[in-house]
Amino acid sequence: MQQHTLAAEITQIGVGLHSGVSTQVRILPAEAGSGRYFVRVDLPDLPIIPAQVAAVSHTVLSTQLGKGEVSVRTVEHLLAALSGMGVDNARIEIDGPELPLLDGSASVWTANIAQVGLVSQPVNNQVPLVVTEPISVYQGDAFVSALPAPETRFSYGIDFDLPAIGNQWHSWSLTAEQGTTSASFAAEIAPARTFGLLHQIEHLQKTGLIKGGSLDNALVCGPEGWLNPPLRFANEPVRHKILDLVGDLSLLGTFPIAHFLAYKASHNLHIQLAQKILDWGF
Active-site positions read 267
Torsion of CA 43, 47, 51, 52, to 10 degrees: -130
Asked if 25 and 92 touch (Cβ cutoff 8 Å), the reply is yes
Residue 248 annotated in ligand binding: no
CB atoms within 10 A of CB 134: 12
How wide is the angle at C-alpha 161 spanned by C-alphas 140 and 104, nearest 5°?
A: 90
Half-sphere exposure of 8 (CA within 13 A, CB side): 6
244 is in an annotated binding site: yes
Does 4 count as an annotated binding residue?
no
Pick the closest to residue 124 from 191, 36, 33 (CA basis): 33
* Alpha helices, DSSP H, located in the chain: 76-84, 107-116, 178-188, 198-206, 236-249, 267-280
Angular region, 104: left φ>0, alpha ψ -120 to 50, beta rest: left
Which residues line the annotated binding site for Zn(2+)?
77, 240, 244
Which residues line the annotated binding site?
77, 240, 244
